[in-house]
Amino acid sequence: MPYSEAVDSRVLLRRLRDTLAESGGGQERLDSIVRLIADGLVADVCSVYLRREENWLELCATFGLKAESVHLTRLKVGQGLVGRIADSAEPINTRDAPATRGFRYMPETGEELFSSFLGVPIQRLGEVLGVLVVQNREAREYTDDEIYALEVIAMVLAEMAELGAFVGPGAMEIAAQHKLPFFVRGLVGQEGVAEGRVLLHEPQIVVSNPVSDDPTREYARLHAAIERLREEVDEMLAADYLTKSGEHRDVLQAYRMFAHDKGWVRRMEASIDSGLAAEVAVEKEQSATRARMSRIADPYLRERLHDLDDLSNRLLRLLGGMDAAAGREIPDDAILVARNIGPAELLDYGRKLKGVVLEEGSVGSHAAIVARALAIPLVIHAERITREAQNGDPILVDGDQAVVHLRPEDGVARAFRDKIEMLAGAQQAYAALRDRPATTRDGVTLQLYMNAGLMADLPSLPKCGALGVGLFRTELQFLIRSTVPKRADLAALYARVLDSAGEKPVTFRTLDIGSDKVLPYMKRQDEPNPALGWRAIRVGLDRPGIMRMQVQALLRGAHGRPLRIMFPFVAEAVEFELGREIVMKEIARELALGRPVSADVKIGAMLETPSLAFASARFFEMADFLSVGGNDLKQFFFAADRENELVRRRYDALSLSYLGFLEGIVARCAGHGTPVSFCGEDAGRPLEALAFAAVGFRQLSMRPASIGPVKALLRQVDLAEARGAIEAARFEGATTARPALEALLGRMGFVV
Ligand code: PEP
Ligand code: MG
């Protein structure tokens, strides 16, 4: 049989388009398509396998295999040659299929008669929707032209599937996938619940006509978009302060390099030559990038491929005539869905969002820090969410349980609304306690403070009834800029924070960067173990320029008012002494320059490493106050990475060994008269807060939303009883005090 020497994919595509334009149901269309492809490629067989459920492929149309096998033959992803293609998103081209690894004999199809096999993935934006296969009786290897033609056709099939072209009785309803409920369990980024509508950070482009008759026109469109893209990247690079994007300078340099990459442009031109519309040509490249991304383990290379992927998204937006996502109208009940997002971009959306769902991200990522500061629920690692979600879809986000319901069933939505209502009702009850003290039944008063990180947090201060800001994380202002912030800008911000706090104290923590928090303008250190690495005060002391500048900004922002400065992550007394010296020198300098400095500047340290609990008496006497950073302290106490989902929940903050350790810290502080507070996330959990109070803490600092629930519980308990329950658990040899405390509250009628 004569083979198609040079396949003209343009002719094939045109015929394909005409077939698709004909009326008829989805199955009819698929049947015509397989006939047409077999004819165009002079193949004995052409088959389309489509993904049914997550892991199954179904033979949905064939020319050449037994017709009875259609909709009966099913393969698992990874199984057989077809399954391997779906799994790897790579084509398979072989002259001897039965001898090829993975070949699986399917008697119902009559497949043993065919020796040659060429299969390509049908994929859209990296998601494999199915597999397109041609086969020949005789042993032959398919040419590059043929592979290319089949890939181009597969692209069009994927686009058409997205548009619902194959929906119809008996046919695979790919498009219907976007109508069914979708549930995903991710990881907790920030607690809280929200109901709303999907707002895609990168809206999907719908290509109404994937096949083009006019390559010249498509060329012109592609080149105009690339020109505009290059200008955009240059503008971003030229911008001093990147308000609209969080990209770092090195990322932008990589963007620029990719935007000028000749190979990238040439490959897209070739796709246009073969008859694809410009958008589909971009998507074809993007699919290849995503397939490569999934195979690469090296984080640096993955990041670069990520950049290239982002660039393709921008290009698609430009082709579709859309401007940057951030300029869009944001509906009232928007829940942002994105693969990942930078901190500045998230801040741009700001409090208009009710929640965020990310496909990637990490607990300590900049986006998570911002979401925490904005107090909006965040679920990360929500697999496939950007592919499943469409703009405007109803969505429920439960940041407490780390689950997301997209297009939920009525029953699920109702149960969810009940939960939201219950929480809202509880918030109202808490509001009534706002001006009441957190005094226990046996007369012990706890001082409750709030944690903050943005100017925008300050209005919560009077609303939540906190006595002040126990922890102001200052890194956000550094993270969201492309260059080191200016001293005057920081001073102005700190002044505004103090203005709006009024008489209430604010404890500013100096810059806590390093580990997961990498500044865009600082050279990234390749550290084997960043959480134990060059971070926080270690960076501050080794690069004192930034620390001095920040201290100056704090002193100037205070402008003679009392000030509280706290150093993060102090492991040894000497680090605190050195940091303190810097502050003292800056105070002296300010005074020498005639600027006002209050006599009441308090300098404290965060106790986040077990070593500091054993520091000399001199340290405890020198520190004006201490604050236990439980998030870090707990991870070092148990040697369990706070960002590693495999271990981060393994150890309980109510573990009796940990509570015993905390009790020791309180006792040492009491012995030296050093005020001590607890400001990690655990302080905001009512049962944990009660246990910390029972071991002696009198100051707790937490998210504003936690103050109500913590106060409500504290006001109804007898602290001596809680202490007794912990003691009893210890006496019985228990590991954790949780059951004992829960039982105590249960007896009092509380449900925890
Ligand atoms: C802590 O470690 O408990 C803390 C409050 O600091 P961060 O979470 O910012 O590391
Ligand atoms: Mg910390």
Alpha-carbon separation of residue 192 from 398, 457, 616 (angstroms)? 6, 16, 41
Ligand 1, atom nearest to 473 Cα = 9
How many Å lie between the centroid of ligand 1 and the Cα of residue 632? 6
465 φ, ψ (degrees, to nearest 5): 80, 15
* Residues 325-350, mean pLDDT to the nearest whole number: 76
Q: Is the CB of 470 under 6 A from ligand 1?
A: no
Angle at 182 between CA 361 and CA 318, to 5 degrees: 60
Residue to probe by mutation, ligand 1, list 679, 700, 702, most atoms within 8 Å of CB: 679
Ligand 1, atom nearest to 512 Cα = 9
- pLDDT recorded at residue 243: 38
- Among 203, 636, 216, smallest CA distance to 390 is for 203
* Position 36, amino acid: L
8 A C-beta contact, residue 367 and residue 342:
yes
Q: Give the Cβ contact number of residue 35 at 10 Å.
A: 16
How many Å lie between the centroid of ligand 2 and the Cα of residue 581? 22
- Among 328, 349, 218, 325, smallest CA distance to 273 is for 218
| Mean confidence (pLDDT) of the chain | 86
Residues 412, 414, 417, 421: is their CA dihedral positive or negative?
negative
8 A C-beta contact, residue 420 and residue 190:
no
Residue corresponding to tokens 């009525």: 410
pLDDT, tens digit, for every residue of 524-559? 667 888 889 888 999 999 989 999 999 999 999 999
Q: Is the CB of 93 under 6 A from ligand 1?
A: no
Comparing 148-157, 273-282, 297-306, which segment has the lowest mean pLDDT? 297-306
* Residues 171-175, mean pLDDT to the nearest whole number: 41
How many Å lie between the centroid of ligand 2 and the Cα of residue 661? 18
Q: Residue 465 above 90 pLDDT? A: yes
Ligand 1, atom nearest to 475 Cα = 9
Angle at 131 between CA 128 and CA 136, to 5 degrees: 160
- 3 state SS of 603: strand
pLDDT, tens digit, for every residue of 440-464? 999 999 999 999 888 878 888 998 9
**101/479: higher pLDDT:** 101
- 3 state SS of 456: helix
Comparing 7-21, 134-148, 171-185, 587-601, which segment has the lowest mean pLDDT? 171-185
**441/74: higher pLDDT:** 441
How many Å lie between the centroid of ligand 1 and the Cα of residue 226? 43
164 falls in which pLDDT band (50, 70, 90)?
A: low
Q: Residue 5 above 70 pLDDT? A: no
In this structure, the residue with its CA closest to atom 9 of ligand 1 is 473
Q: Residue 244 above 60 pLDDT? A: no
How many Å lie between the centroid of ligand 2 and the Cα of residue 444? 28
Residue 498 DSSP class = H
Q: Residue 14 above 50 pLDDT? A: yes
Q: Residue 738 above 90 pLDDT? A: yes
- Among 50, 89, 69, smallest CA distance to 172 is for 50
- pLDDT recorded at residue 339: 84
**Encoding tokens for residue 455?**
């100017």
User: CA 150, CA 46: separation in Å to the nearest integer?
Assistant: 11
DSSP assignment string, 20-38: HHS-S-HHHHHHHHHHHHH
In this structure, the residue with its CA closest to atom 7 of ligand 1 is 631
- pLDDT recorded at residue 172: 40
Beta strands 625-628 and 601-607 are parallel
Q: Is the CB of 684 under 6 A from ligand 1?
A: no
User: CA 428, CA 431: separation in Å to the nearest integer?
Assistant: 5
Q: Is the CB of 473 under 6 A from ligand 1?
A: yes
Alpha-carbon separation of residue 726 from 687, 716, 730, 735, 743 (angstroms)? 12, 18, 6, 11, 11
Helix (H) or strand (E) holding 425: helix 410-432
**Encoding tokens for residue 293?**
């991304």
Instruction: Please identify which of the residues 201, 366, 381, 405 carries the catalytic annotation.
Output: 366
Q: Residue 415 above 80 pLDDT? A: yes
Angle at 65 between CA 64 and CA 68, to 5 degrees: 125
* 223 noted as active-site residue: no
Ligand 1, atom nearest to 680 Cα = 3
Q: Residue 240 above 60 pLDDT? A: no
How many Å lie between the centroid of ligand 2 and the Cα of residue 300? 26
1 falls in which pLDDT band (50, 70, 90)?
A: very low
Ligand 1, atom nearest to 369 Cα = 9
* Position 259, amino acid: A
Ligand 1, atom nearest to 679 Cα = 5
**134/401: higher pLDDT:** 134
User: CA 125, CA 140: separation in Å to the nearest integer?
Assistant: 31
In this structure, the residue with its CA closest to atom 4 of ligand 1 is 629
303 falls in which pLDDT band (50, 70, 90)?
A: low
Residue to probe by mutation, ligand 1, list 631, 643, 648, most atoms within 8 Å of CB: 631
Q: Residue 325 above 80 pLDDT? A: no
134 φ, ψ (degrees, to nearest 5): -120, 150
Helix (H) or strand (E) holding 132: strand 127-136
Q: Residue 342 above 90 pLDDT? A: no
Angle at 166 between CA 160 and CA 168, to 5 degrees: 150
Angle at 495 between CA 493 and CA 497, to 5 degrees: 70
- Among 250, 235, 232, smallest CA distance to 521 is for 250
- pLDDT recorded at residue 557: 97
Angle at 380 between CA 371 and CA 78, to 5 degrees: 165
User: CA 406, CA 54: separation in Å to the nearest integer?
Assistant: 16
User: CA 692, CA 164: separation in Å to the nearest integer?
Assistant: 58
- Among 676, 636, 637, 644, smallest CA distance to 660 is for 637
Q: Nearest 10 degrees: CA dihedral of 340, 344, 348, 351? A: 80
Q: Residue 600 above 80 pLDDT? A: yes
How many Å lie between the centroid of ligand 2 and the Cα of residue 642? 10
Percent of the chain with pLDDT over 70: 87
Ligand 1, atom nearest to 568 Cα = 6
Q: Residue 88 above 50 pLDDT? A: yes
Q: Is the CB of 629 under 6 A from ligand 1?
A: yes
* 679 noted as active-site residue: yes
Q: Residue 215 above 90 pLDDT? A: no
Q: Residue 167 above 60 pLDDT? A: no
- Among 722, 720, 661, 715, smallest CA distance to 688 is for 722
Highest averaged pLDDT of the listed ranges 279-283, 361-365, 422-426, 684-688: 684-688
Residue 484 DSSP class = P
Report the b/e string of 446-459 with b at 16+ CB within 10 A.
bbbbbbbbbeebbe
How many Å lie between the centroid of ligand 2 and the Cα of residue 605? 11
Ligand 1, atom nearest to 632 Cα = 2
8 A C-beta contact, residue 701 and residue 504:
no
Q: Residue 361 above 80 pLDDT? A: no
User: CA 209, CA 212: separation in Å to the nearest integer?
Assistant: 7
Residue to probe by mutation, ligand 1, list 369, 449, 475, 512, most atoms within 8 Å of CB: 512
Q: Residue 241 above 60 pLDDT? A: no
How many Å lie between the centroid of ligand 1 and the Cα of residue 629? 5
In this structure, the residue with its CA closest to atom 1 of ligand 1 is 629
How many Å lie between the centroid of ligand 1 and the Cα of residue 474? 12
Q: How remote is the C-alpha of 550 from its chain's centroid?
A: 29
Ligand nearest to the CA of 643: 1
Q: Is the CB of 631 under 6 A from ligand 1?
A: yes
Residue to probe by mutation, ligand 1, list 451, 473, 511, most atoms within 8 Å of CB: 473
Q: Residue 26 above 80 pLDDT? A: no
* Residues 174-183, mean pLDDT to the nearest whole number: 66
* Position 350, amino acid: G
Q: Residue 327 above 60 pLDDT? A: no
**Encoding tokens for residue 106?**
């399917």
pLDDT, tens digit, for every residue of 655-685? 999 999 999 999 999 999 999 999 998 999 9
Percent of the chain with pLDDT over 90: 47
User: CA 493, CA 37: separation in Å to the nearest integer?
Assistant: 65
- Among 432, 395, 400, 402, smallest CA distance to 419 is for 400
User: CA 193, CA 577: separation in Å to the nearest integer?
Assistant: 43
Q: Is the CB of 680 under 6 A from ligand 1?
A: yes
- pLDDT recorded at residue 366: 67
Say how many residues make up the chain.
752
Q: Is the CB of 682 under 6 A from ligand 1?
A: no
- pLDDT recorded at residue 171: 38
How many Å lie between the centroid of ligand 2 and the Cα of residue 568? 7
Ligand 1, atom nearest to 608 Cα = 2
How many Å lie between the centroid of ligand 2 and the Cα of residue 77? 43
Residue 430, C-beta contacts closer than 8 angstroms, at least 6 positions apart: 707, 708, 709, 711, 712
User: CA 178, CA 459: separation in Å to the nearest integer?
Assistant: 40
Residue to probe by mutation, ligand 1, list 369, 472, 516, 608, most atoms within 8 Å of CB: 608
Residue to probe by mutation, ligand 1, list 567, 606, 633, 643, most atoms within 8 Å of CB: 606
User: CA 530, CA 365: separation in Å to the nearest integer?
Assistant: 13
Q: Which residues surround ligand 2, an ion (CB under 5 A)?
A: 608, 629, 632
- 3 state SS of 91: coil
- pLDDT recorded at residue 709: 92
**Encoding tokens for residue 363?**
């607990």
Q: Is the CB of 514 under 6 A from ligand 1?
A: no
- pLDDT recorded at residue 12: 81
* Residues 371-393, mean pLDDT to the nearest whole number: 86
- pLDDT recorded at residue 668: 98
**404/514: higher pLDDT:** 404
* Residues 620-635, mean pLDDT to the nearest whole number: 97
6 falls in which pLDDT band (50, 70, 90)?
A: low
- pLDDT recorded at residue 313: 79
